[in-house]
């Protein structure tokens, strides 16, 4: 289990990092394909019940992740526990390696989870000497999101997030709006709405 502290910023079309920032960063992951299959507990697999679950609990949807740059396992089941309901900037994360996505799917469905949606993105990750990791996630026609994570920054959740916001303002300017929920949560909501309309 590891503590995860991160900001999410919306990248406008055609956005690129300032040139000086790029020179300081090491490219860790170049255009890797990341495919996530998202699941929710069966008892909240409707739009209204899902919204109540998200608003009142510290849980979050579970995903099966396949990463083309990761040779440790064919896939992982990744579970997050939020620090407080609705706050996705600070969470505890557990990643369980699995032999293949089919086994992971069988495990989750047997445990009572329901598959909601598959989402793929192209990810490029950079490491800055300040201990900050930057991941640009391109969702194709759905837009791009920049995740800023303080993996090497010590302190409480509030201290790390304050550091990251200050770092982003100094290095990226104030032009990128912060997302207070993961971009994929909107897609999960849309999928649950669509399932109800077609049922």
Of 18, 1, 8, 2, the C-alpha closest to 152 is 2
Which residue did the predictor score with more confidence, 74 or 48?
A: 48
CA pair distance 134, 128, nearest whole angstrom = 8
Average pLDDT over every residue of 49-72: 84
Residue 142: burial class (beta carbons within 10 Å; 0-12, 13-18, 19+): middle
**What are the Cα distances from residue 153, in Å, to 146, 164, 190?**
18, 9, 35
Distance of CA 130 to the CA centre of its chain: 22
User: Residue 95 is encoded by which pair of tokens?
Assistant: 């990643």
DSSP string over 105-148: HHHHHHTTEEEEEEEEEEEEEEEETTTEEEEEEE-GGG-EEEEE
Residue 36 C-beta-side C-alpha neighbours within 13 Å = 19
Q: How many CB atoms lie within 10 A of CB 190?
A: 13
Whole-number pLDDT of residue 86: 78
Q: Is the pLDDT of residue 77 over 80?
A: yes
Q: How many domains does the chain have?
A: 1
CATH assignment at residue 160? 2.40.320.10
Average pLDDT over every residue of 184-189: 91
Average pLDDT over every residue of 42-63: 89
Q: How many CB atoms lie within 10 A of CB 38?
A: 22
For residue 29, the enclosing domain spans 2-198
Residue 199: burial class (beta carbons within 10 Å; 0-12, 13-18, 19+): exposed
CA pair distance 31, 125, nearest whole angstrom = 8
Whole-number pLDDT of residue 12: 86
Average the pLDDT over each of 34-38, 61-65, 170-174 and give the range with the smallest value: 170-174
Q: How many CB atoms lie within 10 A of CB 71?
A: 7
* % of the chain at pLDDT higher than 70: 96
């Amino acid at each position: 289990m590891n503590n995860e502290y991160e900001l999410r910023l919306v990248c406008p079309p055609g956005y690129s990092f300032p040139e000086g920032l790029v020179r300081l960063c090491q490219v860790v992951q170049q255009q890797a394909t990341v495919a996530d299959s998202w699941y929710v507990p069966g008892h909240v697999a409707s739009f209204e019940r899902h919204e109540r679950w998200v608003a009142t609990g510290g849980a979050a949807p579970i995903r099966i992740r396949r990463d083309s740059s990761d040779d440790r396992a064919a896939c992982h089941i990744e579970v997050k526990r939020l620090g407080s309901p609705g706050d996705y900037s600070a969470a505890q994360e557990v990643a369980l390696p699995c032999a293949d996505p089919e086994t992971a799917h069988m495990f989750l469905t047997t445990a009572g989870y329901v598959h909601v949606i598959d989402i793929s993105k192209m990810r490029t990750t950079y490491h800055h000497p300040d201990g900050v990791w930057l991941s640009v996630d391109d969702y194709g026609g759905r837009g791009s999101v920049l995740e800023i994570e303080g993996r090497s920054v010590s302190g409480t959740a509030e201290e790390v997030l304050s550091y990251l916001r200050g770092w982003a303002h100094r290095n990226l300017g104030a032009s990128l709006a912060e997302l207070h929920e993961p971009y994929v949560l909107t897609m999960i909501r849309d999928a649950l709405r669509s399932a109800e309309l077609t049922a």
